[in-house]
Amino acid sequence: MNQIFFITGTDTGVGKTVLTALLATFLRGRGVSVAAFKPVCSGGRRDAVILQQALGGALALDEINPWHFRAAVAPVLAAELEKKSVRLAPVLAQLRAQRKKFAVTLVEGAGGLLSPLGEDFDSRDLIAALRATPIIVAPNQLGAVNHVLLTLAALPKDLRTRAKVVWMSPPKPDLAAAANVRLLARFFPRERIFTLAWFGKPVAVAAVLQRPQVRRTLAALART
């Protein structure tokens, strides 16, 4: 087994880090050697710290997140403010070297699928180069079906056919949230659409993983 999943989203702040941390902790609990990376980030390293905690310290923070910039703007712009740049080739080299050591590799993007990560690439470019299985995270709210379909349409066809979608539920699901799964299933295979309940903030990963439905969903997501 040498699987690689890329967790992207319809936007920033939709729950990518929460899902990545849950998957990493769940897989470790099943005895799987797993790595989680957020190779590029801006506006602080909190997400990378969460991933490091989910891995139980198996990787150093600088291994999980080698490129980080202070300004809370798109990484490509944050790098420019520090007179630095990030290019695709070194990021790919780092991820490819690290993934050889693990059975499952999780890579989390920054922002949405097409948000620029560096001078010449975005999350779509990383997914394609790594031949990763895309997992698209979206908030389960009114208007999000459009955002999910746009994200799916932006993926190359061969990657789109392997993609999975995860709806992250709001605290109080409304009519739109209840209908989104059914509506999306008109355009995308139902068996590759998943829903996770509201977990509260901050998310207590260990407590969340006590829920049987969460474990079943994560197990299905981890199958290619």
Q: Where do the H-state alpha helices sit in the chain?
A: 16-29, 46-54, 61-64, 75-81, 88-99, 123-130, 144-154, 157-160, 175-184, 205-208, 212-221
Residues in the chain: 224
CA–CA dist 22, 30 (Å, integer): 12
Told to judge if 38 belongs to the known catalytic residues of this protein, a careful annotator would answer: yes
Q: Which of 39, 82, 26 is nearest to 206 (CA)?
A: 26
Residues β-bridged to residue 42 = 69
Let me know: does 95 contact 24? Beta carbons within 8 Å: no
Q: Which of 38, 83, 84, 157 is catalytic?
A: 38
Provide the 3-class DSSP secondary structure of residue 150. Answer: helix
> How far does Cα 143 stand from its chain's mean position?
20
81 is written with which tokens? 């403010």
Residues that are catalytic: 38
